[in-house]
Chain A
Amino acid sequence: MIEHLGPQLFNGLVLGAFYAIVALGLSLIMNLTGTINMAHGSFMTLAGYLAYSMVLRHVPFGWALVIAPLFAVLVGVIVERTLVRPLYKREPFYSLLMTFGLSLIAEEVFRLVWGPNGVPFSPPASLAGAASLGFMQFPTFRIFIVGVLVIAIAALALFLTRTRFGLRLRAAVQDSEMIAALGTNTQLLYAVNFSLGIFLAGIAGVLAAGMLGLSPTSGNALLMPAFVTVIIGGMGSLFGSIVGGLLVGIAISMTTLFIPAASEVAMYVLMAIVLLVRPRGLFGEEGIFG
């Protein structure tokens, strides 16, 4: 049992980093506009399928990893402008229902375009093997995933803390009315913010497609842990999403080691404990990266 502890902990951290990036995208969108994006998983699947189609046409995997999420962003911008924006002034319930409906439609569209069965999407040969980490054999692709996620998170942090636009975004989260009154184009802010969220979802989607399977329902399967992550980390805190993701990942991998049958319920138990002890979540409502 104990000899598994190291590898399992590492497994959990990798998985956690993955949930973290999905949760980050969700948080970004939610913090600024109060939209609970139930179609987040669909954007992941969309990017996955787009990358799959590109790789089929001999686009290198590395390019597909960047271009496919950008295409997803394009769809995201259209969705934001036409469907989500009219609902900003309403109760969050409206946008939740709308995006949920959207995810159902998306699932059927994927089925129409790419077929009801899963499609084979594998990482390139250079990332296909397993590497020795000393204490265990670990898939090269997972190490690559960790690298990409760390870069993406660092880039997001820099963007939000070091650029004027990022500053405005964070200010808008605090008080969007005041920002609008001071002459910032909040509609543009919302659009860029939504795009950022979708871009993160897109990257996660392409990586997930390579690591797991790719089928019309695959993105939605990853959505629930991401929501749990947001709640554990605390709404309003991007840093919380990262910590929450890692905690969920570790919770799942540790219960798999000791009580395998409880692995699926572990994250909900963790969520319940956090909500009981600290109802606003671990880092809730402290501002972005604050």
Chain B
Amino acid sequence: MTRPVLSRRRFVTLAGAGSAAAVFGIPAYIPRIGEAADTLKIGLLEPYTGVYAGPAENETHGFEMAADAWNKRGGVLGRKIELVKEDEQNDTSVAAQKARKLINQDKVAALVGTVSSGVSLSVAGVAATTGTLFMDSGGHSDDVTGKSCHWNVFRTCHSTWMETHATGYALQKRFGKKWFFITPDYAYGHSLEAGFKDVLAHNGGTVVGNELTPLGTTDFSSYLTKIDAAKPDLVLVFVQGDDYTNCLKQMNQFGLLKKYPVGGPQVELEPLLGLGPEARQGYWGIEWYYKSEKCLGKNNKLAQEFVAESIKRHGRPPTARNAFGYITLDRLAHAMTDAKSVEPVKVARAIEGVRFNSIFAGSAYYRKEDHQLMWPMWVAKIRPNGTPGDKYDLFDVTDVNAAEAVEQTIAQKEAVCKLGYP
């Protein structure tokens, strides 16, 4: 038997192409076709494959619960909501292409979804050029409601500015002024860095180290060994998802969690559950929490039902991602009902500025000037082992920040954001 000869050159080509495809993912496609004329189609874009598949699934659960609740009440304008789901693969170009497909082929009334900021901006771009409504449920970049804002784009989750300022103020109350950053080296990381530097500028603190780590870093040891030399008062971790798990796990192994307080602008329940209890520590920004009166409000029936129904459906409590999905679609449906139309301009006008109560404490509104949802941002101390009988109960909510206190002012936003209504 002769076996084909594998030359070095050929190996380099093949292995390179193959690994690149493995890293960046190959198209996976989840088609859903529904042609019933009496349904109201909403295009849902989420990264169902890849590193953000977890958050994507939870956001989808939230969207589905809102859709089911409205459909049970007879739908929107007499039409049942139908979610047309597409996998955007956490890839900006795939997302843009899928967004166009949803608009042109499925004729959706609006687009919702996304987890990563880059993808949100990409979909917002398509929405802007086609005049389609887009409600960004989970991409945090300031630009979405900042310099890339557009009349038909709304955002539910908090902006990075809100995250950094809410946690920055909470942390400076508790720890010293020498901070060390572990920053993911892309747009999101840099905007977090800028936000915290703004907080430090107000209280005269300093950055004693800022390690820029490439997205997808698995081994953090080389960055971590520098922390000891810098002797910071606080280590701030900005990396997300799997990188977050890797980083915290290794900080623990290097004994750093015992020496330095740790915290960050935001942590989600999903990656935290992937960490062992020994590495769950510190003060972190959280965007919603299922088990705190500070977050849900006293006797908030809607929130209690949302939590109970989520647990019943999925066997685990809802996370902030579930909440993003629910709030987003619920508001969109309300606005369409109020506007008695699905015409984008009318619906946009019906969303902005309207105060509403939902599954969190107090009332909130999508700000008229930049379309950012103005709702509180919370800070929590982590309980490594949860509470007796509930392994998911990892957050002890310590601080509540009003949106207006932690987001850029209207004047600041108006300097960069021009909504440009037709």
A residues with CB within 8 A of B: 3-4, 7-8, 11-12, 14-15, 30, 33-34, 36, 38, 41, 88-93, 96, 100, 103-104, 107-108, 111, 115-122, 128-130, 136-139, 141-142, 176-177, 180, 186, 208, 211-218, 220-224, 227, 230-231, 235, 252-253, 256-257, 260-261, 263-264, 275, 279-281, 284
Contact = CB atoms under 8 A, between A and B. Distances in A.
B242 A4 contact: no
Contacts of A257: 222
A264 B217 contact: yes
B278 A88 contact: no
Contacts of A138: 254
A11 B258 CA distance: 20
Interface string B10-45: 111011101101110010100000000000000000
B363 interface: no
A24 B37 CA distance: 59
Given A223-B19, A231-B12, A235-B11, A118 B57 contact: no
Nearest to B214: A264
A227 B15 contact: yes
B422 to A, nearest CB: 40
Complex A-B, nearest 10 residue pairs according to Cβ-Cβ distance, in ascending order: A118-B274, A256-B222, A139-B253, A122-B276, A213-B245, A130-B255, A117-B54, A264-B214, A116-B53, A116-B54
Interface residues of B, number: 61
Contacts of A215: 51, 242, 245, 274
Contact of B218 (A139, A212, A216): A212
Nearest to A263: B214
Interface string B41-68: 0000000011101101100000000000
Nearest to A254: B222
A8 B222 contact: yes
Contact of B18 (A3, A96, A120, A139): A96
A117 B271 contact: yes
B109 interface: no
B221 A15 contact: yes
A268 B279 CA distance: 32
Chain B facing A: main interface SS? helix
A151 B278 CA distance: 29
B212 A261 contact: yes
A11 B221 contact: yes
B411 interface: no
A139 B253 CA distance: 5
B242 A118 contact: yes
Interface stretch (B1-9, B298-306, B335-343): B1-9
B249 to A, nearest CB: 6
A100 B21 contact: yes
Interface of B: 1-6, 8, 10-12, 14-16, 18-19, 21-23, 26, 28, 49-51, 53-54, 56-57, 185, 211-214, 216-219, 221-223, 225-226, 228-229, 242, 245-246, 249-250, 252-255, 270-271, 273-279
Nearest to B275: A120
B225 A92 contact: no
Given A3-B229, A129-B255, A260-B212, A41 B22 contact: yes
A117 B274 contact: yes
Contacts of B273: 117-120
A127 B252 CA distance: 12
14 contacts: A30-B6, A92-B11, A100-B21, A117-B271, A118-B271, A118-B275, A122-B278, A130-B255, A139-B250, A211-B249, A213-B245, A216-B53, A221-B23, A223-B22
Given A34-B4, A100-B22, A120 B222 contact: no
Contacts of A41: 22
A227 B57 CA distance: 32
Interface centre among A88, A115, A118, A263 (most CB of B within 10 A): A118
A117 B226 CA distance: 29
Contacts of B279: 122
A173 B221 CA distance: 37
A224 B242 contact: no
Contacts of B57: 116
Nearest to A31: B6
Nearest to A281: B8
A7 B23 contact: no
Nearest to B228: A137
A128 B278 contact: yes
A220 B229 contact: no
Contacts of B10: 92
Contact of A252 (B22, B219, B274): B219
A96 B255 CA distance: 41
Contacts of B185: 261
Given A12-B222, A38-B19, A117-B273, 20 more contacts: A11-B221, A34-B4, A34-B5, A34-B6, A36-B18, A38-B18, A38-B22, A89-B3, A119-B273, A139-B250, A139-B255, A208-B218, A230-B15, A235-B8, A252-B219, A253-B222, A260-B212, A263-B213, A280-B8, A284-B8
B221 A176 contact: no
Contacts of A260: 211-213, 223
A79 to B, nearest CB: 17
Nearest to A99: B18
Interface centre among A34, A177, A260, A284 (most CB of B within 10 A): A260
A139 B224 CA distance: 12
